[in-house]
Amino acid sequence: MNIEVSKKNIKETRTRNEDVPSLSPGQIRVAIESFGLTSNNITYAVMGDLMNYWQFFPVPEPDTALWGQVPIWGFAHVSESTVEELEVGTKIFGYFPMAESFVMTPGRLDETGFSDAALHRSKLPTVYNRYAYTTKDPLYSEAGEGTLMLLRPLFITSFVVDDFIVDNNFFGARTMLISSASAKTAIAAAFLLAERDDIKVVGLTSEGNLDFVNGLSCYDEVLTYDHIEELKGEDVVYIDVAGRRDVTHKIHHHYGDHLKYSMIVGDTHWDNEEFLPGSIPGPRPTLLFAPVQIAKRRTDWGRDAFEEKVADAWHRFLGWTNAWLKVESVAGADEITATYGDLLDGRIDPSVGHVCRFLDA
């Protein structure tokens, strides 16, 4: 079974059952055990065309142009194999379709994992094509599987947000302003930035999430969106996780030349399409595409050193999440699609993370 989303209206979903194809030489089939479902997946759907997320797991013809599979991060095990190095039962973590099973073409096998060498993925960012053996993954622990599924993909983005800003010497600013401050990507970025010397982290959130965000220890100051005019007129970097055009407009006009960089990270408020005519003062809002910075740092530091830095930061962050994150289970296609709808409509408690599985997983 696969869960698919309409590319024209991402609120519309369907389930599709397909025949299990025979494997060709060099292929494996994996059974997807469980996966996290967060606002990160909403970003994948919203930016499916712009960032090519629909291309990772295309729906078969004749529906390729109309329907897509939202990528998810989770655990799977090899259920059938024609590859000698990959035994049945091998457990992996990585990027999958929202489905019960998936056929892969492993390549670039080493002691830590492999890449999916399927032809249609050859021109897509390699960071999404890599799968880690849980037995060799420095971030893995059996007890922490739920948190890993929910936060690891978000954390990588947050790690890159922090590193990109550091790599650019904070763009000359000492204040970091983050929208959608209750989103887990924002929280992780705030946590890492708060560790930096002499850096002030300010969060913007809705009235409904204000108490939750204030209860976190990673923001020096928290304001709601209707109090933007109260922000101090100091040099600042804006990290846009919300994707709200009206907020971006207010931030740019409030800070003017004091806004040193405007970074687009996500689109949690995916349905905010208010048209804002004319130019806005300050720097042009720029989309952060994490794989580019990851590739740069793997060149700068080497792959192993990059992974070590991520692992060190992850373990610091992981211990802190126990104080506020609650993991809840979701089972079956109906509950999964209902949770996806709740995420779209903003009805999810920010302190909750959902771990999903199909009933037969």
Question: How large a percentage of the chain has pLDDT more than 70?
Answer: 96
- For residue 361, name the pLDDT band (cuts at 50, 70, 90): low
In CATH, what number is assigned to the domain containing residue 22? 3.90.180.10
Is the distance from CB of 72 to CB of 24 less than 8 angstroms? no
Residue where a domain terminates, one of 243, 270, 291 = 291
- Residues 328 and 353 sit within 8 Å (Cβ to Cβ): yes
Whole-number Å distance between alpha carbons of 189 and 117: 32
Percent residues over pLDDT 90 in the chain: 79
In a domain, 120, yes or no: yes
Of the residues 233, 266, 291, the one at which a domain ends = 291
- The set of residues, in sequence order, having a beta carbon less than 8 Å from that of 148 and lying 6+ positions away, is 93, 139, 140, 141
Residue 173 lies in a domain: yes
Residue 195, C-beta contacts closer than 8 angstroms, at least 6 positions apart: 316
Per-residue confidence (pLDDT) for residue 179, from 0 to 100: 96
Same domain assignment for residues 110 and 18 = yes
What is the CB-side half-sphere exposure of residue 238 using CA atoms within 13 A? 34
| Inside any domain, residue 132 | yes
Mean pLDDT of 185-191: 96
Question: Would you say residue 139 has pLDDT above 90?
Answer: no
160 lies in the same domain as 133: no
Region for residue 38 given its phi and psi (left: phi exceeds 0; alpha: psi -120 to 50; beta: otherwise): beta
Indicate the pLDDT class of residue 274, thresholds 50, 70 and 90.
very low
Would you say residue 147 lies in a domain? Answer: no
Q: Give tens-digit pLDDT for 224-272.
A: 999 999 999 899 999 999 888 889 999 999 999 999 999 998 655 444 4
**Is the four-CA dihedral 291, 297, 302, 303 of positive or negative sign?**
negative
For residues 126 and 161, state if they share a domain.
no
Residue 303 lies in a domain: no
pLDDT in tens, 19-74: 888 999 999 999 999 999 988 898 899 889 988 999 999 999 999 999 999 999 99
In a domain, 143, yes or no: no
Encode pLDDT of 316-359 as tens digits.
999 899 889 999 999 999 999 999 999 999 888 899 999 999 97
pLDDT at 52: 92
Both 175 and 279 in a single domain?
A: yes
Q: Are residues 212 and 83 in the same domain?
A: no
Q: Are residues 343 and 225 in the same domain?
A: no
Q: Quick check: is 313 in a domain?
A: no
Residues 180 and 216 in one domain: yes
Q: How many CB atoms lie within 10 A of CB 113?
A: 20
pLDDT tens per residue across span 105-121: 999 999 999 999 999 99
Q: Both 176 and 106 in a single domain?
A: no
Residue 346 pLDDT = 83
Residues 121 and 11 in one domain: yes
What is the domain range of residue 40?
Answer: 2-137+325-357
Residue 278 is predicted with a pLDDT of 58
- One domain for residues 165 and 279: yes
Q: Is residue 298 part of a domain?
A: no
- Based on the fold, state whether residues 119 and 248 are members of the same structural domain: no
Residue 298 has pLDDT above 70, yes or no: yes
Residues 129 and 157 in one domain: no
Instruction: Count up the domains in the chain and report the number.
Output: 2
Q: How far apart are CA 189 and CA 158, in angstroms?
A: 4
Choose one of 246, 271, 291: the last residue of a domain: 291
Mean pLDDT of 265-290: 69
pLDDT bin (cut points 50, 70, 90) of residue 275 is very low
CATH code of the domain containing 227: 3.40.50.720
- 143 confidence band (pLDDT: 50, 70, 90): confident
In the sheet with 67-68, reading across from the earlier edge strand, the strands are: 13-16, 2-6, 67-68
Whether 254 contacts 281, CB under 8 Å: no
Summary mean pLDDT of the chain: 92
Structure-token match 């059952």, residue found = 17
Cα–Cα distance list, 316 to 216, 260, 285, 309 (Å): 15, 29, 30, 11
